[in-house]
């Protein structure tokens, strides 16, 4: 609050530019919160502070107040993502390894500022867009270098203060390079300030993954997963299954899901991705569902995480439990089974000779309409969920237990049913005022469409997130209640 007040005074009294005052707050608050472990010993009040400042920052942004902290030349929610990142890091690393929390906050304070300062002084020909926010090559290089420096110097200093064992210099350098690379990608693939969240999480999880792999003497395997993730993301982009942002998103998802879960998470995810992409390509060639749906078979980063984000969260939680909580892995399978079932219902359902039925009104709707179901599509969804679970069983990732296997499959399928219900009820629907067709697109026939039903911001991607989350939560609820 003191730094925010100083920034307001500097902006109003000394006529400091809003951008400079914002950077001042960004750096000073980053340094301040990195010192939290030396003043606060319990995590609960720290988490409460993070939640409070998330609410306060969001309110200030919406009311256009505290301009010394919020003002930018573009629409950005960075000041909201900042305390969210802080809170998540506290939850994950306060007890596990507090040094990772500190170093990640320092990366956010210094590396992000360095990228902004350098990037703003570069002409447009050096700039690029991976997803939404405009970045620059010199800015990204500055971010990489600063992150490398922060890890190289801050990690051993804070490790010493926490009385941790020193890290061998060769491993310190290698970890700094690895962390800087992941965080740079996390910073570059952003939208409206989301890099404040993604760069901190990728940095902290990257350091933790390196340290755990070093202790388990599996660094070579981790390197293999990184290379495989690069091939996966780039290959999917070249095959036009993923957009540029989707390729980078798949890379990050692969590094953490494969690195942390190894074959247990890798094989089910690859099965989902490869088989679903093939189905999407085939379905796109014989149907016209793109008239209705907001996106085609080439998935962007939002779609990658709409389907894979919840399974990733469950796999990270399983990893952070040191693989001691089995039901977290089973919930991962259920959430991925839900995403698979939803995708297969749509793609296989497009081959049906009859129009689908609205899951709520039971009226005929066009193919590709969210909330539409068919016998063929439903059968395909059950098959998709069963394949994901079957892979885990056949590979020995879970022991054969008929009740457990059926529960995961059913939970996954029910998650896709909830997806359909949400799609039919509250998902945003639009109408093209040029051709008169119903669509999920905000633009159609090169014109802005008319919102006719549902919640305006609730698109198919959010519905997919809710569906995969429902699959995991249904499994957890039933497992603890009846098994």
Residue 123 to residues 129, 135, 139, Cα–Cα distance (Å)? 14, 11, 11
Average pLDDT, the chain: 87
Tell me what percent of the residues of the chain surpass a pLDDT of 90. Answer: 52
> Is residue 289 very low, low, confident or very high in pLDDT (cuts 50, 70, 90)?
very low
Give the residue, 277 or 263, on which the prediction is more confident.
Answer: 263
pLDDT band at 16 (very low <50, low <70, confident <90, very high): low
Closest to 27 (Cα-Cα) out of 105, 99, 123: 105
pTM of the model: 0.89
Q: How far is it, in rounded angstroms, from Cα 97 to Cα 227?
A: 27
* pLDDT (0 to 100) of residue 26: 75
Q: Locate tokens 């007890």: which residue? A: 95
Q: Which of 27-31, 210-214, 435-439, 448-452 has the lowest average pLDDT?
A: 435-439
| Residue 290: per-residue pLDDT | 46
Q: Percentage of the chain with pLDDT > 70?
A: 92
Task: Check the CA dihedral 417-418-424-427 and report its sign.
Answer: negative
φ, ψ for residue 451, nearest 5 deg: -75, 120
Are the C-beta atoms of residues 427 and 353 closer than 8 Å to each other? no
Higher pLDDT, 73 or 331: 331
Which residue in 437, 456, 434 sits closest to 445, CA to CA?
434
CA 187 vs CA 33, 61, 96, 141, 176: distances in Å: 20, 22, 24, 11, 16
Does residue 324 surpass a pLDDT of 90?
yes
> Is the separation of the CB atoms in 104 and 204 below 8 Å?
yes
Q: What pLDDT is stored for residue 67 in this prediction?
A: 53
| Helix (H) or strand (E) run with residue 135 in it | strand 134-136
Q: 388 versus 278: which is more confidently predicted?
A: 388
**CA-to-CA separations, 194 to 4, 70, 85, 108, 334, in angstroms, rounded:** 21, 14, 10, 12, 28
- Return the structure tokens found at 301: 């980063």
Give the contacts of 409 (CB within 8 A, at least 6 positions apart).
337, 382, 385, 386, 389
């Amino acid at each position: 609050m003191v730094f925010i007040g100083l920034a307001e005074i500097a902006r109003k009294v000394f006529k400091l530019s809003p951008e400079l005052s914002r950077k001042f707050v960004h750096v000073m608050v980053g340094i301040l919160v990195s010192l939290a472990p030396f003043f606060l010993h319990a995590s609960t009040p720290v988490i409460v502070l993070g939640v409070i400042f998330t609410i306060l920052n969001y309110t200030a942004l919406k009311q256009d107040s505290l301009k010394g902290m919020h003002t930018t030349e573009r629409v950005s929610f960075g000041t909201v993502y900042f305390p969210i990142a802080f809170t998540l890091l506290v939850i994950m690393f306060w007890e596990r390894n507090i040094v990772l929390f500190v170093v990640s906050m320092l990366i956010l304070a210094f590396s992000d500022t360095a990228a902004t300062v350098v990037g703003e002084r570069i002409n447009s020909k050096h700039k690029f867009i991976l997803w939404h926010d405009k970045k620059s090559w010199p800015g990204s290089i500055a971010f990489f270098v600063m992150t490398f420096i922060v890890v190289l110097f801050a990690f051993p200093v804070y490790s010493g203060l926490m009385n941790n064992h020193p890290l061998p210099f060769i491993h310190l350098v290698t970890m700094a390079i690895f962390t800087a690379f992941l965080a740079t990608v996390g910073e570059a693939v952003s939208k409206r300030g989301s890099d404040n969240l993604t760069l901190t999480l990728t940095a902290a999880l990257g350091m933790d993954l390196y340290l755990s792999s070093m202790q388990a003497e599996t660094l070579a395997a981790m390197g293999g997963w990184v290379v495989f993730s690069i091939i996966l993301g780039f290959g999917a982009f070249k095959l036009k299954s993923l957009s540029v942002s989707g390729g980078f998103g798949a890379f990050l998802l692969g590094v953490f899901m494969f690195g942390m879960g190894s074959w247990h998470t890798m094989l089910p995810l690859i099965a989902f991705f490869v088989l679903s992409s093939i189905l999407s390509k085939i379905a796109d060639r014989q149907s016209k569902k793109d008239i209705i749906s907001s996106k085609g078979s080439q998935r962007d980063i939002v779609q990658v995480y709409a389907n894979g984000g919840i399974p990733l969260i469950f796999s990270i939680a399983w990893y952070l439990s040191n693989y001691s909580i089995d039901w977290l892995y089973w919930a991962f399978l259920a959430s991925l089974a839900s995403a698979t079932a939803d995708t297969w219902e749509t793609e296989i359902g497009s081959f049906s000779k009859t129009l689908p039925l609205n899951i709520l009104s039971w009226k005929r709707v066009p193919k590709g309409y969210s909330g539409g179901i068919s016998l063929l599509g439903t059968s395909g969804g059950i098959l998709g969920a069963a394949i994901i679970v079957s892979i885990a069983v056949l590979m020995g990732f879970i022991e054969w237990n008929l009740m457990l296997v059926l529960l995961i499959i059913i939970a996954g399928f029910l998650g896709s049913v909830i997806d359909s219900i949400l799609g039919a009820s509250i998902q945003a629907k639009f109408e093209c005022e040029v051709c008169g067709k119903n669509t999920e697109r905000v633009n159609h026939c090169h014109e802005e469409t008319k919102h006719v039903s549902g919640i305006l911001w609730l698109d198919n991607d959010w519905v997919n997130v809710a569906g995969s989350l429902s699959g995991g939560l249904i499994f957890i609820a039933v497992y603890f209640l009846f098994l």
